[in-house]
Each structure stands twice: as C-alpha cells, then as structure tokens.
Amino acid sequence: SRKLTEVMKLKAKVLRLIRQWFDENDFYEVTPSVITTNAAEGGATAFEFDYFGQKAYLSQTAQMYLEALIFSLERVWSLTPSFRAEKSRTRKHLTEYWHLEAEEAWVDNEGNMKIQEELISHVCQNVVKIARSELEFLGRDIESLKQIEPPFKRIKYKDAIKKLQEKGFDIKWGDDFGAPHERALVEGEEKPIFITHFPVEAKAFYMKIAPDGKTVECADMLAPEGYGELIGGSERSEDIDSMIARLRQQGAKIENYEWYFDLRRYGSVPHSGFGLGLERLIMWLAKLDHIRDATPFPRMLRRAYP
C-alpha cells in the first residue's frame, strides 16, 4: 500500500539520521550476536531453542555484549533484531523488533538521559527536513516535531504515582504503568518526558541501586500523544553481590552470567546505556494506530507468515 511505502521511506531516513548522530558524537557501531545463553530480561519472555544440545535463546537485548565492548571502544551502539515471547496482544507489541541500543563509559544516569534527548531531538528536527513529503502524506503535524529539543522533563516514579492517584487511578508504589497510566502522565506535554527512579523490584538486575536503597538509577522515556515508552535506560550496577541476589530471586542460573560479572571483577568503570524500539519510534513519528504498520512483515502473537 502507499501508506506502507511512505512508512518504509520514513524509516530509512530516520535510520540515516540516527547513524549520523552517533557518528558525530564518537560512537562506534558494533555487531553483537543474537544467539545467546543469557535471558537478560527474564527467561519467561525469551524464545528458547536447542543449540546443538545446549539450551540457547534468541536475544532480547545486546546490552551485555555492548558493556563488554566499552572497555576498548568507550561509546558503542548497535541495531539488532530482538525477540520477546510475550503473549501481549496490544497495539505496541511485536515478538520481533529492531532494537537500537547504546552503551557509554564514564556516563551516569543523568548523562545517559542527556544523550537520549539529544538523539531524539536530532531525529525530530531533521526528519521534518528530509522526510517532509512522507510525514505530510501520513498526516503528521510537522510543527509539533520541530518543537522537540532538550531538555525533556524528568519526573520521579514516586511523583508519577502521586500524580496518577490525584487523577483518580487505583495505583500504588511498586505497580507498573499500563497504557492508560502512560497516557495520563504525558497529558498536555508537547515533548517526551522521562520517568526516573523506579523501585528496585520493578526493574532488571543490572541497574544500579540509588543511594536511597529502594530505587534504581534508571529512566523510561515516554512519547507525547499517548504513544508510550520509547526508550528504557539506566546506569549499570557494579555491585556483583546485589546483582546475584536479584538474579536468584528470578530463579536465574548464576553460572550463565559469570562472564558478565568478570567485566566487574577485573576493573569496571561507571557506565550507562539504553535501548530504543525502532518500530515504536516510527509509530510515534508517523502517528500510526498500530505497531504492525511500522514494519513490512510484522511478527506478532498469531503471525509468523509470510
């Protein structure tokens, strides 16, 4: 269809802008494997398969490999397919999507957010110049994209919970945000916002625990207009004991992560990183109703053909 054609052209131009920004900011593009023995985001949502008699998974994230590469390259990024065996039937979920990830040495959570807002602003301000006809065909308001520039608002998770309670939501500390919550949090916002410092138990084992001991040094970027989470990022933990304790709670096999802990044992540096779902970014930029329209061959709960 003409719509899909325009979306594909837009996606190609967005990728060009992303590469341009990373090049100009001294990031090296790397090519990590998508076959792994680690279910980094939790085994329940990983596609497991038999790898010559050994249990392996299709990658959910390249993050751990990127972390290994910062010691020689300092700032790295990759674009790989990621796979999630989530039985989610929402307008924002694919079982296979293109995952843009970056990892930076000597960067804390705040510095990590600055990198993200600069990248997204670069894309928004330039895509209106190089993909104007595609955006106009798709019905996108060009002026709203031109206004997107740093800084983006930062809201702590605890304050977001308070705000939602004031709006009448039945939500408490420790609960995750669903689509209605995300929509309410960005109401009236013209730019993306960051929700920071989620509870320890709500986030992955590799995120650094904040000084308060209850939250982690993380941030989720929510798109305006109710498009939900665009990016998830965090400062990475260097505390092996706390990471092992959190993995044990998930029932993970610690020996599969020994190589990752070795990155800490033999001299780590403070570092942070983030992951962006490319199709979600396209969905927002093109104002699409469903994420399946952001890719020519969507992979969903009941769709693996053609």
Helices and strands: H and E segment counts in the chain:
10, 11
Question: Could you tell me the CATH number of the domain that includes residue 254?
Answer: 3.30.930.10
In a domain, 111, yes or no: yes
Per-residue pLDDT tens over the stretch 113-154: 999 999 999 999 999 999 999 999 999 999 999 999 999 999
122 occurs within a structural domain: yes
C-alpha span between 222 and 232 (Å, rounded) = 9
Domain annotation covers residue 77: yes
In this structure, is residue 301 part of a structural domain?
Answer: no
Kindly state whether residue 299 falls inside one of the protein's structural domains.
Answer: no
Residue 223: name the closest of 144, 166, 169 by CA. 144
Integer Cα distance of 68 and 90 in angstroms: 34
CA distance 162 to 169: 10
Question: Which residue in 206, 219, 216 sits closest to 274, CA to CA?
Answer: 219
Residue 198 corresponds to which amino acid?
F
In this structure, are residues 108 and 280 in contact, taking their beta carbons and an 8 Å threshold?
no
* Assigned domain for 273 exists: yes
Per the structure, the count of domains in the chain is 1
Where in the sequence is the domain holding 172, given as residue range(s)?
Answer: 2-294
What is the reported pLDDT for 42?
A: 60
* Contact assessment for residue 299 and residue 28, using Cβ atoms and an 8 Å cutoff: no
The rounded distance, in Å, linking the Cα atoms of 18 and 22 is 6
Let me know if residue 48 belongs to a domain: yes
Tell me the residue type at 251: G
Please state the pTM of the whole predicted model.
Answer: 0.96
Mean pLDDT of 20-40: 94
Give mean pLDDT, residues 97-106: 98
Query: Does residue 129 form part of some domain?
Result: yes
Note the pLDDT tens digit of each residue in 255-274.
Answer: 989 999 999 998 899 999 99
Q: Where are the alpha helices (DSSP H) in the chain?
A: 2-24, 63-73, 109-130, 132-137, 142-146, 157-166, 179-185, 240-249, 258-265, 278-285
Q: What is the pLDDT of residues 196-242, one digit of tens each?
A: 999 999 999 999 999 999 999 999 999 999 999 999 999 999 999 99
